[in-house]
Chains A and B, each alone.
Chain A
Amino acid sequence: MSSRDDDATLVARVRAGDDAAFAALVARHRPKLVAHARRILGARGDQAEDVAQEALLRAHRALRRDDREMRLVPWLLKLTRNCALDELARLHGDALPLDAPGADRALSSELHEPHAVHERRDTVRGMLEGIAHLPDEQRHALLRREVDGASHAEVAAELGITSQASRALVFRARDNLTKYEDARDARCVEVQDDLLRAHRAGRRASAHAHRHLIACSACRAYRARLRSLRRALHALHPGALLVLGALAVKGGALAKAAVSGGTGGGAATGGTAAGGGAAAGGGAAAAAAKAAGGLAALLAAGAGSTLLFSAGDPSPLPVRSPAVPGGAVAAGDPLPRGTAIAARLAAPGTTVRIGCPPGHRVADLLPPQGGRIAAGYVGTIPGRSRTARVAVGPGDPHGVDVGVAVLCRRPRADGSILPASAVAARAQDPSAVCVRHVYLRSAPRGAAVGSARLGQPLRVRQARDGWSQVRTDLGATAWIPSRAVCG
């Protein structure tokens, strides 16, 4: 074997089973690998020999395993670097041995005070974690440039990219490492605030927060608690939580907002106040939720305020009503055009006012959320009233508040709050009921078959002897006294 055999020839011979060729490679490259490992290990330089040995062992196994083409020296350096990083990761929690070279100086020097050592160790650990979380290509490019001293041309050749792209990769890797370092040192209070806001709004937290989470177990635990809280609440009260969760989301988004109002007679008016109360009501909700960060805060934020869900917002609960297109909207589905839901918490045994948004009218009362409880409109005319007065039954002895929600609809040109598909009355025949309530009858003076209410649109089909046969917007055909019909 000639010492002048080039690396490629020696690699080929190693792959053919020639151990002498591998010994030649070791003799040729080992000093370089030891020096490389020593640079990486720094204070742990005494481990450089072992690291180089480990790298060469891995190289031997790898060369015997496959026949891929390679550039031997960069490959060996990469193996050595990986082994050195592994060694650092393994050692970063260990104490420096007292009999280590320079240990006496370390103990006497301020730089080697325990807290300083711990700080540096923490920095190294953070750096290693940051490097570990870099995208593969960025990590490779950065380490080859910073640790191996490879040129951009070499890095580019290894990754199959241009030199310019290699420069960009290294730049981005450094940038990400800096951001990671900043995020690692960020205050947990700020990160947790970010997590809470994201949790309330149902969105992903910022990249900064996620970088911080990599290094901060306390904040990871906080995020886990937020997630488990949501799951637990859903399990407890699926219906109530849909409303309460939505209250939280809407309160957090603080947008459309809260109409202030109390129980009983002191309630505020509806839609027009909504805009004005938005910032204050929402802000208070957010502040309360932020302060307590739990269900109590959500209840405090929701009680006494009405939250509006407009067309396009996810429905906070399932809706089954002739007033919505198709007759139903599943929970979470976007509310159809011209539809809104106004919701608030109400104490049992009270009467609350719930205002629809501007331009909308009261339609269905949705099932109370949080328990089977009696409730209903009092002094409210569906299709005509803009604010619903809802009386809530006495409930259980514990008097837990329930979520009360009203479906609101923007009336059509003919005054109907039903979707076009369900409307039998035609726009060009805009008759309507002009008494508060009238029974629909099967024949003049016949048996009742239903009711019609003030303002309900209908179409007159025929009239005789003071009675009109009408077809309501729900599709029912019946007789009502002609005096109850306004043309």
Chain B
Amino acid sequence: MTAARPAAAALAAAAALAAAAPSASAAEGAAKVCAAHARLYDTPGGIVVGFVVRGQRVRVLKRTADRRHTRVRSPQQVVGWLRTAHLCR
């Protein structure tokens, strides 16, 4: 019984984590840039507002419905859309 308690707690924690996992359209968290030098766009395919480099950790703010672009905030506090392919998996 006592052994079952931690297992139940772990299951509950896992369920809670799963519930907190980022959704397709709203993904909070951090990610690492894998492209050597990638552009940040004002809107996907729009004006370039910044650049990030490989190894930088960015904060993920949003993802497009098709997940091709991710809105991020860079360590320089630059906010823009980045091609999701440029983030490390």
Contact = CB atoms under 8 A, between A and B. Distances in A.
Given A321-B47, A376-B40, A446 B77 contact: no
A372 B44 CA distance: 22
B75 to A, nearest CB: 7
Interface in A347-395: 363-368, 372-378, 380, 382-383, 391-393
Contact of A374 (B42, B65, B76, B81): B76
A124 interface: no
Instruction: Among B24, B45, B49, B81, find the residue whose CB has the most chain A CB atoms closer than 10 A.
Output: B49
A448 interface: yes
A215 B52 CA distance: 55
Interface in B64-89: 64-66, 69, 71, 74-78, 80-81
Contacts of B62: 439, 448
B46 A450 contact: yes
Contacts of B75: 374, 393
Contacts of B65: 442, 446-449
A472 B41 CA distance: 15
B50 A448 contact: no
Contacts, number: 102
B48 A375 contact: no
B51 to A, nearest CB: 5
A474 B52 CA distance: 23
Nearest to A375: B51
Nearest to A383: B47
A366 B25 CA distance: 29
Given A374-B52, A391-B77, A393-B76, A447 B47 contact: no
A228 interface: no
Given A322-B45, A364-B48, A367-B37, A448 B78 contact: no
Nearest to B45: A474
Given A372-B36, A440-B43, A442-B65, A450 B49 contact: no
A452 B45 CA distance: 12
Contacts of B40: 376
Nearest to A362: B47
A451 B42 contact: yes
Contact of A448 (B47, B63, B80): B63
B33 to A, nearest CB: 9
A172 interface: no
Given A373-B51, A391-B77, A446-B65, A474 B25 contact: no
Contact of A391 (B43, B53, B64, B76): B76
Interface string B15-27: 0000000001100
Contacts of B76: 374-376, 378, 391-393
Contacts of B78: 374-378, 391
B49 to A, nearest CB: 5
A322 B44 CA distance: 11
Contacts of A380: 49
Contacts of A383: 47
Given A322-B47, A382-B49, A393-B75, 19 more contacts: A321-B47, A322-B45, A372-B37, A372-B53, A373-B51, A373-B53, A374-B75, A374-B76, A375-B51, A376-B78, A376-B80, A377-B49, A378-B76, A440-B43, A447-B24, A448-B63, A450-B46, A451-B42, A474-B45
Closest 10 CB pairs of A and B: A376-B50, A376-B78, A447-B65, A391-B76, A450-B43, A447-B25, A372-B37, A451-B43, A364-B48, A382-B47
